[in-house]
């Protein structure tokens, strides 16, 4: 019996075809496994990146506090983005690189870098609630500063306040793009907050802000609830400006905003008693 | 004769096989890519964990100091640790660390005395783990309330400069320096009174003298930042520290009129307490 080469070839062809089909199936399933692995890897990389972002934002904000402690204003000013917006207490809004430098070096520092002898400006940065945007390009943080200000033999002040910050990642480096510090209280050490309360710091004449204070609010004995940037972590309900209004006093600040309190200031005068509302 | 259809089949199958053969090395290559990315991920996650462990270690230290549980404080340090608290001088190694905490600071008493307060809040950690995951640096601050019921109350604050090392898979303190910023009696506050740093113990002297002489309030000292500026990357230098720090203004300096009096050791304010 003579086998037809044709049929052999035909058989071989069929075998080849079958093998090829199998190969194609294997290939496509491998490709699909590969794309699943790819997706999971990319998701993991993104999650780890967000954790790293959070660590960097924490370091950045705490490092800010350590520079402010010692009034190293040039290092402070360098922590902000080019288009930053900064508002500290009642000093008004400072914009951009030039504004940030004017605020810290002039309004806060009075043209001097470093503490004056006998000066104290401890600025503890605590309790960060930080949220990095899913795309990893921006972030928000609420922090508080617990503050001891003093000038030996002249005055000592306890102070505390809330920071609501925004951050931006520029060229792979996290910077502060928006900083708003709301003072809670300024209490002279010798009297304490039950007996003495000083007003919020107002604008500096020599280094005026780019825009007036954006939110008028009361410091102690009045109170203000700076809007929480985050929704309730359990219910997800966002905080509204209306709620801040509902839970805040008006017209209870100790006195109209006075000159900034800082080491080197003359002994602060006692605030004028606030007329009853 | 083989017909065209069959040859086409053969050709098609061959082409698929050929494609599969070409695809195998491509897959292997992408496996290597996956492998490299997984390894990078594992490394980064390990560094995140390192940071979490360093934070816990440092904060746990503070909770033990609160209650003066020295036997829990001492094991937190590496074998070759170097520790310097305030102006007490440098203590080295496990034995030195034990001497410093149990004998000098603890005055050979375990735990708080009745009526004693030693709150040691450890806050504001700026931590950086080295890329190899073997060492790390940290800057922290302690905000402190010291007291003895109906005798005295003090506020104090100071900076911790800490180096960490991973020994046998566990993070430990390899170097700890604490610089006092101020010590102020509660009843007067920092505007009116301040104490100087604690000096060395005569009874249990340090292994080496104080490494840096510096002023506590009303003077001030900028402990060198162990990290570069987080945005500009500019490192902090000793010259920067010198430029922004005072000299000769420590309250323990007799020439300083802001002194509350003679040099004062916090330990010396603690009452005698019965051994436990």
pLDDT by position in tens, chain B (length 276): 455 566 566 565 566 556 556 555 566 667 779 999 999 999 999 999 999 999 999 999 999 999 999 999 999 999 999 999 999 999 999 999 999 999 999 999 999 999 999 999 999 999 999 999 999 999 999 999 999 999 999 999 999 999 999 999 999 999 999 999 999 999 999 999 999 998 999 999 999 999 999 999 999 999 999 999 999 999 999 999 999 999 999 887 644 433 333 333 344 444 333 333
| Beta strands B90-92 and B77-85, pairing class | antiparallel
Helix (H/G/I), strand (E/B), else coil: B127? strand
Q: Name the minimum distance, in Å, from the CA of A166 to any CA of chain B.
A: 15
Distances (CA, A) of B75 to B79, B91, B160: 9, 15, 18
- pLDDT tens digit sequence for A117-135: 999 999 999 999 999 999 9
Residue in chain B lying closest to A53 (CA): B48
Q: What is the structure's pLDDT at B19?
A: 59
Give yes or no for a contact between B250 and B217, defined as CB atoms under 8 angstroms apart: no
Interface contact flag, B220 A72, Cβ < 8 Å = no
B26 CB neighbours in chain A (<8 A) are: none
Q: B54: cis peptide before it, omega within 30°?
A: no
Handedness of CA B37, B39, B40, B44 (dihedral sign): positive
Give yes or no for a contact between A148 and B183, defined as CB atoms under 8 angstroms apart: no
A80 CB neighbours in chain B (<8 A) are: 231
Handedness of CA B28, B29, B35, B41 (dihedral sign): negative
Interface contact flag, A20 B249, Cβ < 8 Å = no
Judge whether B52 is closer than 8 Å to chain A, CB to CB: no
Ranges assigned E (strand) in chain B? 77-85, 90-92, 116-129, 135-148, 152-167, 170-185
Query: What pTM, to 2 d.p., does this model score?
Result: 0.85
Cβ neighbours of residue B226 closer than 8 Å, sequence gap 6 or more: B128, B137, B138, B139, B161, B163
B191 CB neighbours in chain A (<8 A) are: 150-156, 189-190
- The tokens describing A93, both together, are 């809004």
Residues 148-207, chain B, touching A (beta carbon < 8 A): 157, 159, 181-182, 189-192, 194
Distance of alpha carbon B101 from alpha carbon B257, whole angstroms: 32
DSSP state of A236: -
Average pLDDT for A176-189:
97
Nearest to B190 among A56, A120, A174 (CB): A120
Give yes or no for a contact between A150 and A156, defined as CB atoms under 8 angstroms apart: yes
Distance of alpha carbon B276 from alpha carbon B272, whole angstroms: 12
Give yes or no for a contact between B122 and B61, defined as CB atoms under 8 angstroms apart: yes
Q: What is the structure's pLDDT at B3?
A: 58
Give yes or no for a contact between B222 and B240, defined as CB atoms under 8 angstroms apart: yes
Give yes or no for a contact between A61 and A127, defined as CB atoms under 8 angstroms apart: no
């Amino acid at each position: 019996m003579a086998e037809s080469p044709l049929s052999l070839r035909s058989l071989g062809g069929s075998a080849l075809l079958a093998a090829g089909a199998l190969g194609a199936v294997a290939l496509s399933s491998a490709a699909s496994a590969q794309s699943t692995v790819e997706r999971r890897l990319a998701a993991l990389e993104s999650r780890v990146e967000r954790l790293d972002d959070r660590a960097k934002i924490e370091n950045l904000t705490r490092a800010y506090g350590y520079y402010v402690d010692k009034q190293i204003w040039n290092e402070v000013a360098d922590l902000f983005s080019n288009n930053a917006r900064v508002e500290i207490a009642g000093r008004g809004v400072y914009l951009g690189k030039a504004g940030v430098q004017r605020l810290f070096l002039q309004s806060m520092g009075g043209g001097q870098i470093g503490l004056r002898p006998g000066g104290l400006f401890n600025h503890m940065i605590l309790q960060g609630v930080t949220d990095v945007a899913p795309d990893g390009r921006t972030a928000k943080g609420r922090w508080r500063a617990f503050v001891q200000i003093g000038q030996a033999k002249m005055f000592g002040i306890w102070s505390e306040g809330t920071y609501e910050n925004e951050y931006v990642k520029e060229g792979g480096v996290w910077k502060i793009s928006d900083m708003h510090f709301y003072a809670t209280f300024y209490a002279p050490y010798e009297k304490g907050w039950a007996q003495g309360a000083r007003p919020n710091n107002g604008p500096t004449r020599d280094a005026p802000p780019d825009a007036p204070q954006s939110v008028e609010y009361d410091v102690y004995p009045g109170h203000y609830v700076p809007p929480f940037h985050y929704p309730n972590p359990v219910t997800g309900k966002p905080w509204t400006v209306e709620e801040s209004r509902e839970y805040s006093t008006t017209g209870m600040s100790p006195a109209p905003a006075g000159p900034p309190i800082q080491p080197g200031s003359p002994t602060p005068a006692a605030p004028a008693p606030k007329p009853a509302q | 004769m083989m017909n065209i259809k069959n040859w086409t089949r053969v050709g098609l199958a061959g082409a698929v096989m050929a494609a599969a053969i070409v695809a195998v090395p491509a897959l292997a290559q992408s496996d290597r890519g996956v492998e490299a990315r997984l390894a990078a991920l594992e490394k980064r996650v390990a560094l995140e964990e390192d940071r979490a462990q360093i934070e816990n270690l440092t904060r746990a230290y503070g909770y033990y100091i609160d209650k003066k549980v020295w036997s829990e404080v001492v094991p937190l340090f590496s074998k070759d640790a170097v520790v310097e608290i305030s102006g007490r001088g440098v203590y080295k190694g496990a034995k030195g660390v034990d001497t410093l905490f149990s004998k000098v600071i603890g005055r050979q008493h375990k735990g708080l005395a009745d009526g004693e307060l030693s709150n040691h809040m450890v806050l504001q950690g700026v931590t950086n783990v080295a890329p190899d995951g073997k060492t790390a640096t940290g800057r922290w601050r302690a905000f402190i309330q010291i007291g003895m019921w109906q005798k005295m109350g003090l506020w104090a604050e100071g900076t911790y400069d800490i180096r960490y090392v991973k020994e046998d898979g566990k993070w430990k303190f390899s170097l700890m320096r604490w610089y006092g910023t101020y010590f102020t009696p509660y009843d007067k506050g920092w505007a009116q009174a301040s104490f100087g740093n604690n000096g060395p113990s005569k009874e249990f002297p340090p292994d080496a003298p104080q490494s840096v002489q510096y002023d506590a309030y009303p003077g001030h000292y900028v402990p060198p930042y162990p990290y570069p500026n987080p945005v500009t990357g500019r490192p902090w230098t000793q010259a920067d520290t010198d430029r922004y720090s005072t000299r000769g203004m420590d309250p323990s300096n007799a020439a300083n009129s802001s002194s509350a009096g003679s040099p004062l050791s916090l330990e010396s304010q603690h009452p005698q307490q019965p051994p436990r």
